[in-house]
Chains A and B, each alone.
Chain A
Amino acid sequence: MSRAVGLHIAVLAGLALAQFTLPEYHHGNLARIMVLAAFASAYNITFGYAGMLSLGHAMFFGAGLYAAGLAAEFGGIAAPGGLVLGVIAGALMATVVGVLALRTTGVSFMIVTLMFAQAAFLTVLYFGEWTRGDEGFVIASDMRRVLGLDLADPATRYWAAFAVFGAVMLGSLAVARSSFGRVLAAIRENEERTRMLGYDVFRAKLMALAVSGAMAGAAGAAYALLFGYVGATFASIQYSILPLLWVLTGGAATVLGPFLGTLLMFYLIDVSSSFTTAHMMIVGFALIGLILFFPKGILGTLRERVVPWLP
């Protein structure tokens, strides 16, 4: 087993162990962090590996969230089905948007994805009669059951979050180390050259987007089912910027970077708001300080300087 795979198995093992050892508060936090880290990992496929700066991932996360939520609310479809629907919704949305948006690159792509995400957000509000718009709705607890276990139960929730995160993370690892991943890296480094070498750049990018969308959809569905609330806030631009922030701080184009970034940002906000009311300022300075010392994100910089084999 290579070092890389070993490291990731170790991380997963550590997280699994944490389920038994962490105090109640941090245990609950970690479940949340893992689901959001899955979202960040999904974003990493598009941004870190394929090099496409998307500002529209909130719509994929939202697609998963609403697919699961609406299915539970109106279709009586419980958790496992909701998750599957979330994955499909995310993948579908990413493919449709990708076919249109991939005609553009760089900053144009950024704005196109942003616009589609904004339109999706406004559509959620427009159909407020069913989605309850920004106020959102709560998913009934009997929809939040899997294999007879209640997802609101701390241990069950943790394992479910762990499963989703683990799947996404191992998926990212697989992508990073596969030939597909290498094509994406080539596209990121120099798209024209890759095209010239005969690769179907459009198809590769679309594939990356679809995978990314599917994973984001899974994260969204998981968030709805595990935490019981669906609201338009999660489809707003904030949720397109947050995964970008998490990935950049943790280290773009590293498999564990997104998790680290999500974990770090969560506790930065949590801890700083414990001892000051001006916590946003602490977070802001911390971000600036962090990026000054780790310009490629924490793991990205570490990989550059110390640990070159980190995927």
Chain B
Amino acid sequence: MSSTTAPQAQKVRSAITRRTALKGLAGGAALAAAPGFVPYIQAQSSAPLKLGFQVHRTGIGAAYGRWYDRVTTAAAALINEEGGINGRMIEIVTEDDGTDPKRGAEVVEKLASQHGCDLAFGTLFSHVVMGSSPRAGELKFPYFVVSEGHHVASGKLNRYTLQPGITDVKSQVRAMAPWVSQNLGKKVTMIFPDYAFGHDHRDFFSEAIAAQGGEVIEKIAIPPTESSFTRYFPRIPRDTEVIYHVMVGPGVLTFVKELGEFYGSGARPQIFGFIDSLEAVDIATPGLEFLEGTYFWEGMPRYAPADAPEYETFYRERVGVDANGASVSDSKDISTYAHMFGCWETLHVIKAGMEAAGYQGPDDRVKLIEAVEAMTTMPAGRAHPQGDKVFNGKTHQVFGHQYISQVADAKLSVVHTASIDDGMYPDETDYTAQPF
């Protein structure tokens, strides 16, 4: 099996060396010129900042967790190479939550109380976020989720929970509707898993496509543990113009294969899916030929474009992924490219926030939150390789570009890039009005 650690992994665990401490001091002195900066006293602390990483190492999210781990390690190594945060190295403290909400809450507790971390980040699956976030709020523990869920922006969580590194599903879905209705069709049949993730797609897309003058003519909800899908396909109405599918989980390959078998080489509607279905899956896998010519939402284009900017290439190199989105040590090991950038960007946001707040320790947690809430535009670059972003301090949610790609020759190439505005929606909450 291929190694999951990025090349520079070792640096994270290294102790403070005199060289790095001096570098940090130099950096600190440079920063002292910035307004509002709290003077960095050498005697105070050269102990590393402990960032708690809640990862799905086991359970249904394990495939994602592995890549989240890899990207986190690479991002932390880079940050440390560049001098750490406020002159202090960062140490990633990892705990497995088993993709389980009960364990997630326990892990938040462990990271905060036993490990003494400054904050925690990294949770992906929505139900684990919902189960863990209350505890973070109670502990007054900054909690940066990398989840894509709409839960943060919906106001259901608390002021200590933020999602500044990855866009949410409502925004993604809304950004798709204009292009889909103009280029693929207005009569849509949706196939989605019958739980919260699928329901979000169902609700948000129905609303968005209606605003474009389209209509969802059939909604096929598939029970969560289904492993065989053929029996659902006859429900697809004959006059469907676009099939919109967001099946996820181990059964997805079966889904695509069976959809292909169902239609054969005959006429079929346009097909639009979300790359969530194919994260960590090779498009060239036998049985997926049916996907040729179909379209996918991508959070971050898996296949590097010919004109990729320097920072994108740099990101790929640091996390150990080749131009096809696969691991550099095993070309069959496809990454979860559309999601994992969230960890990279979140860590860089944490760095920026800590630097803006002059973060020294747990007493400054509130200042850190406020500093992040004050962020607005995040330009594309090494800190944000997925693209430029706009952060909404009130809803604690970031907005960014969404990509639509088409499968051609078993590769994905981007055919449309949605603007940040395409994905915007009215605020549903204002966390800044809540007390800490």
* Direct touch of chains A and B (CB < 8 A): yes
B282 touches A (CB below 8 Å): no
Decide: B106 and A32 in contact? CB cutoff 8 A. yes
Task: List the A side residues contacting B106 at CB < 8 Å.
Answer: 29, 32, 270
Q: Give min CB distance, A126 to chain B, whole Å.
A: 8
Question: What residues of B have a CB within 8 angstroms of the CB of A279 in the complex?
Answer: 58, 96
**Does B127 sit within 8 A of A, measured CB to CB?**
yes
Task: A276 to B194: give the CA distance in the assembly, Å.
Answer: 35
Contact of B332 with A by CB under 8 A: no
A68 vs B199: C-alpha distance in the bound complex, in angstroms?
Answer: 24
B133 contacts A135, C-beta separation under 8 Å: no
Work out how many contacts link A and B, with CB atoms closer than 8 A.
79
A146 → chain B, closest Cβ, in Å?
A: 16
Residues of the A chain whose Cβ atoms lie less than 8 Å from the Cβ of B135 = 227-228
Q: Report yes or no: B113 in contact with A28, Cβ–Cβ below 8 A.
A: yes
Inside 8 A of A269's CB, which chain B residues have their CB?
103
- Give the complex CA separation of A273 and B110 in angstroms: 11
Once the chains are docked, how many angstroms separate the CA of A186 from the CA of B382? 72
Q: Is the interface of B mostly helix, strand, loop or mixed?
A: helix
Chain A residues, CB < 8 A from B101: 136, 229, 231, 233
Are A135 and B151 in contact, CB atoms less than 8 angstroms apart? yes
Contacts of A191 in B (CB 8 A): none
* Residues of A contacting B57 in the complex (Cβ-Cβ under 8 angstroms): 277
Measured in the bound complex, the distance between the Cα atoms of B102 and A227 in whole Å is: 9
Cβ–Cβ < 8 Å partners of B113 in chain A: 23-25, 28
User: B109's contact among A28, A138, A233, by CB below 8 Å, is which?
Assistant: A28
Q: Which residues of A contact B127 (CB under 8 A)?
A: 134-136, 231-233
**Given known A-B contacts A273-B95, A273-B96, A277-B96, A138 and B126 have beta carbons under 8 A apart:** no
Q: Which residue of B lies closest to A229 (CB)?
A: B131
Residue on B with the closest CB to A129?
A: B199
Q: Does B375 contact A (CB under 8 A)?
A: no
Proximity bits, B101-120, A CB within 8 Å = 1, else 0:
11101100110011000000
Assess the B196–A229 pair: CB atoms within 8 A.
no
Cβ of A280 under 8 Å from chain B: yes
Of B130, B138, B194, B223, the residue contacting A137 (CB under 8 A) is B130
Q: Which of B100, B133, B157 contacts A233 (CB 8 A)?
A: B100
Q: Which residues of B contact A135 (CB under 8 A)?
A: 126-127, 130, 149, 151, 195-197
B224 at the interface (CB under 8 A from A): yes
Residue of A nearest to B55 (CB): A277
- Is residue A257 within 8 Å, beta carbon to beta carbon, of the partner chain? no
Q: How far is the CB of B56 from chain A (nearest CB, A)?
A: 12
- Please determine whether B131 and A231 come into contact, CB atoms closer than 8 angstroms: yes
Q: Is the CB of A128 within 8 A of B199?
A: yes
A152 within 8 A of B: yes
A145 at the interface (CB under 8 A from B): no
Determine the chain A residues whose CB is within 8 A of the CB of B100 once the complex forms: 233
Could you say which residues of chain B place their CB within 8 Å of the CB of A29? 106, 109
Q: Is B134 on the interface with A (CB-CB < 8 A)? A: yes
Contact with A along B142-170 (1 / 0, CB 8 A): 00000001010000110000000000000
- For residue B114, which residue of chain A has the nearest CB? A25
Structural contact, B96 and A227, CB atoms closer than 8 A: no
**CB distance B156 to A228 under 8 Å?**
no
Interface centre among A137, A152, A231 (most CB of B within 10 A): A231
| Contact call A134/B195, Cβ cutoff below 8 A | yes
Contact B138 A152 (CB under 8 A): yes
Once the chains are docked, how many angstroms separate the CA of A152 from the CA of B100? 21
CB atoms of B102 and A233 under 8 A apart: yes
Chain B nearest CB: distance from A74 CB in Å?
15
CB within 8 A of B224: which of A134, A228, A280? A134
Residue of B nearest to A266 (CB): B106
A contact residues around B114 at 8 Å (CB): 25
A132 CB within 8 Å of chain B: yes
Question: Known contacts A138-B134, A227-B105: does B157 contact A133 (CB below 8 Å)?
Answer: no
B130 and A138 contacting across the interface, CB-CB below 8 Å: yes
Q: Is A234 interfacial (CB-CB < 8 Å)? A: yes
**How long is the Cα–Cα vector from A269 to B157 in the complex, in angstroms?**
28
Query: Which of chain A's residues has its CB closest to B57's CB?
Result: A277
**Which listed residue (A122, A134, A273) contacts B196, Cβ 8 A?**
A134
The answer for the CA separation of A125 and B195 in the assembled complex, in Å, is 7
Most buried by A among B57, B58, B127, B197: B127
Residue on B with the closest CB to A223?
B102
B102 touches which of A23, A122, A137, A234 (Cβ 8 Å): A234
Known A134-B195, A270-B106: A229·B134 in contact at CB below 8 Å? yes
Closest residue of B by beta carbon distance from A279: B96
Residue among A135, A228, A234, A277 with max Cβ neighbours from chain B (10 Å): A135
Which chain B residues border A23 with CB–CB below 8 Å? Answer: 113
- From A228, which residue of chain B is reached at the shortest CB distance? B134
Which residues of A11-56 have CB atoms within 8 Å of chain B's CB atoms?
23-25, 28-29, 32
The answer for the CA separation of A229 and B136 in the assembled complex, in Å, is: 12
CB closest residue in chain A, given B109: A28
Q: Which residues of chain A are within 8 angstroms of B103 by Cβ–Cβ distance?
A: 269
Contact B58 A229 (CB under 8 A): no
Q: Is the CB of A136 within 8 A of B110?
A: no
Once the chains are docked, how many angstroms separate the CA of A141 from the CA of B359?
29
Instruction: Please indicate the chain B residues that have their CB under 8 angstroms from the CB of A227 in the complex.
Output: 105, 134-135
Query: How long is the Cα–Cα vector from A136 to B114 in the complex, in angstroms?
Result: 27
When distances are taken between beta carbons in the complex, the residues of chain A under 8 Å from B157 are: 138
User: Is the beta-carbon distance between B195 and A133 smaller than 8 angstroms?
Assistant: yes
Docked CA distance A279–B94 (Å) = 13
**Bound: A234/B131 CA distance, A:** 11
The docked-state distance in angstroms from the alpha carbon of A279 to that of B138 is 28
Question: What mask results when residues 268 to 285 of chain A are scored 1 for a CB within 8 Å of chain B, else 0?
Answer: 011001000101100000
Contact, CB under 8 Å: A136 / B199: no
Which residue on B lies nearest to A157, using beta carbons?
B138
Residues of the B chain whose Cβ atoms lie less than 8 Å from the Cβ of A24: 113
Interface residues of B (CB under 8 A from A): 57-58, 95-96, 100-103, 105-106, 109-110, 113-114, 126-127, 130-131, 133-135, 138, 149, 151, 156-157, 194-197, 199, 223-224
8 sampled A-B residue pairs with Cβ under 8 A: A25-B113, A134-B195, A135-B197, A138-B134, A138-B156, A152-B138, A228-B135, A232-B127
Interface residues of A (CB under 8 A from B): 23-25, 28-29, 32, 122, 125, 128, 132-138, 152, 227-229, 231-234, 269-270, 273, 277, 279-280
Since A136-B130, A280-B58 are in contact, a sample of 9 more A-B pairs with Cβ atoms closer than 8 Å, ordered by chain A residue number, is A125-B224, A128-B196, A133-B199, A135-B151, A135-B197, A138-B133, A227-B134, A228-B134, A232-B127
